[in-house]
Amino acid sequence: MSTIEGAAVDPRELRNALGRFATGVCVVTTLGQDGRAAGLTVNSFSSVSLDPPLVAWCLGRNAPSLAAFSASDYFAVHVLAADQQHIAMHFARPSDNKFALLEGELLQGIGNVPVLANALARFECRRANMTDCGDHVMFFGQVERFSYASSEPLLFHAGRFVEDRRQPAA
């Protein structure tokens, strides 16, 4: 076991330690004030409150989509299923139009936000608040509509996607 102490925290080592916490993988989408859709892959999604129904996620200050999310009143969080790694990778890469390849899989959500039709779970939210948090901005959303299916989630651990490790039935 590695133990790191001292006043200066090595960001790479801290990232390695934080990576030991397995997370789900989500795609967050919005519609910017210019009418262009924006979206990205995150693993910083969390439930905040059931009453009122609030969720949160974080976006890096240097993200190209920060302006779109900051200006929009709505966003949608899509929890991805185990077989949707290709969607996670698609939204993780820079692109002029991340939605072009998914036109048959998109619906129009609350606030005209594009939503993925086949996510494991989807939370359509009105932005409730946003706050500066170091090198990120944390977005809080009040859930106005949600849906979910029964399937295995896409997981991320130690810097990579977790493969299905279940043993086949004998």
The pLDDT assigned to 6 comes to 62
Average pLDDT over residues 91-119: 89
Band of residue 166 on the pLDDT scale cut at 50, 70, 90: low
The pLDDT assigned to 165 comes to 54
The DSSP result for 109-146, as a single string, is -GGG-EEETT-SEEEEEEEEEEEEETTEEEEEEEEEEE
Distances (CA, A) of 155 to 45, 80, 136, 151, 165: 12, 9, 22, 12, 12
**Residue 103 pLDDT more than 80?**
no
**Residue 9 pLDDT more than 90?**
no
Of 53 and 97, the one with more pLDDT: 53
* Each residue's pLDDT tens digit, 124-155: 999 999 999 999 999 999 999 999 999 999 99
Q: At residue 137, what is the residue type?
A: V
**Residue 13 pLDDT more than 60?**
yes
Question: Hey, where are the domains in the chain?
Answer: 24-157
Tokens coding 58? 């974080």
User: What single-letter DSSP state applies at residue 59?
Assistant: E
CB 88 within 8 A of CB 80: yes
Of 23 and 31, the one with more pLDDT: 31
- For the domain made up of 24-157, the CATH class stated in words is mainly beta
The pLDDT assigned to 21 comes to 80
